[in-house]
Amino acid sequence: KTHRSGRATRRGAAWTATRSTRNRMPTRNGSATKKAKTEAVEVAAHAEKVAILDAGAQYGKVIDRRVRELNVECDLLPLDVEPEKLAPYKAIIISGGPQSVYGTDAPKYDDGIFETGKPIFGICYGMQLLNHHFGGKVEKKAKREDGQFPIEVKTECALFEGVPSRTEVLLTHGDSVSAVPNGFAEVAHSGDLIVGIADASRHLYGVQFHPEVDLSTDGKQMMKNFLFGVCGFSGSYTVVNREHMAIAEITQIVGPVKKVLVLVSGGVDSSVCAALLHKALGRERVIALHVDHGFMRLDESKKVCKALEAIGVDLHNLDATSDFAQAFTEINGRQEGPLDEQVSPEIKRKIIGDTFMRVTQKMCTDLGIHADDVYLAQGTLRPDLIESASKLVSGNAECIKTHHNDTQLVRVLRDAGRIIEPLKDYHKDEVRALGTELGLSEDLVWRQPFPGPGLAIRILCTDKPYAPAGREQ
């Protein structure tokens, strides 16, 4: 087959002639591609994961969230991932993105991702890329679509089973598909614009809109149709199933002897992390520390201690309110403090961070905790890692979340690869569900999250320190 521009394209697994490759990665020869495709199909027979290829999507995290809400495991990967790395996945979703498929700044990708034989669902830019790759036409139209619009869908298409023929979706695009490739059908329209394409025989589907957001009324049903109707997922990635997976990971990393240190801030994430570690390793091998810096809400530290003790976690609690209130630190060669006389949010933030390090380090020393004896557990969630991965895609950034509990002990453990993040595959609502499953109190699991130091820093309209009469606590 050929492009409408006349350039020849791929036929089967071999190249007869090439299209412009300015936005592509180097391709493999035909036999290598065929081998990769065969291996991928073999693995796909028992795989239960989706690969979400990130083309710079504004809603990348939302796609990830929606897939997991349907009890299907997924990973967010860069668009230029090597096709061989897609072998463990059963299906591929290609996200939206701000670029044009014809632009010089269009994200790079390897043609091999379309040769794996796996079902593919292209969303927004993902649909345009799918269409463009197989020889269709994408062009900038005179009008943009930005907002919620009614569309007409062909309900006989597997993607729209159980969806009304007229439904509302979120559209945000300037480029549009103007002609579909051979083998594809137009399956959805917004007025005279093509907003859905499908090649059912090869399990290739694309939509110009965003089914992952709430503004797409029947978007969840469309996602469900792709995952279960087209791909045949079982939906076995449940809270209980994932709890067992997390426990297996913890025991494998820590081994039969080492202990784990977890710093419990008082928030939902670190409390659930402590509870999960306790279930995986037992009371004797989990060292849970809590520093009450004086910025917790009323009786918050007591409630956290009580909730964890109720499920068997021994929580070491240090009341350091006076240490923090009278704390100083050095900023740009100048001593700043005490904390309770400061107004500047930035100065307060630095005093709190440095004091937390000193107090926690002393607490660890008093308990006889040494870096060689423990792993450190942190309550980092999936959104933190997704943000880091998105920056890595842009070649920009840090891949580890910065934490305020960055003591010298933490630095030693991090350098030695002794950090455990057992909640790294969880969103906040999933953490709450896991906390409930682990037996934590409803008050703790469903409390409104708010970082402790924030109560000392985020004070509106402050122009002088607050000094109550008699300086009572």
Q: Which residues does the annotation mark as catalytic?
A: 124, 210, 212
Contact status, residue 36 vs residue 116, Cβ threshold 8 Å = yes
Q: Which long-range contacts (CB under 8 A, 24 or more apart) does 79-82 make?
A: 79/53, 79/54, 79/55, 79/107, 79/108, 79/109, 79/393, 80/25, 80/107, 80/108, 80/109, 80/110, 81/51, 81/53, 81/110, 81/113, 82/25, 82/110, 82/112
Q: CA-CA distance, 432 to 447, in Å (whole number)?
A: 10
Give the helix ranges, DSSP H, for 225-344: 239-254, 268-281, 300-309, 321-325
Q: Which long-range contacts (CB under 8 A, 24 or more apart) does 335-341 make?
A: 339/456, 340/465, 340/467, 341/465
Q: At what angle do helices 345-366 and 408-415 cross, to 10 degrees?
A: 80
308 Cβ contact list (under 8 Å, min separation 6): 264, 271, 274, 275, 288, 315, 440
Q: CA-CA distance, 413 to 168, in Å (whole number)?
A: 51
- SS3 of 368-435: the string is CCCHHHEEEECCCCHHHHHHHHHHHHCCCCCCCCCCCCCCHHHHHHHHCCCEECCCCCCCHHHHHHHH
Which two structure tokens, joined as six digits, stand for 323? 């240490």
Which two structure tokens, joined as six digits, stand for 227? 């995952």
**Tokens 């023929």 sit at which residue?**
165
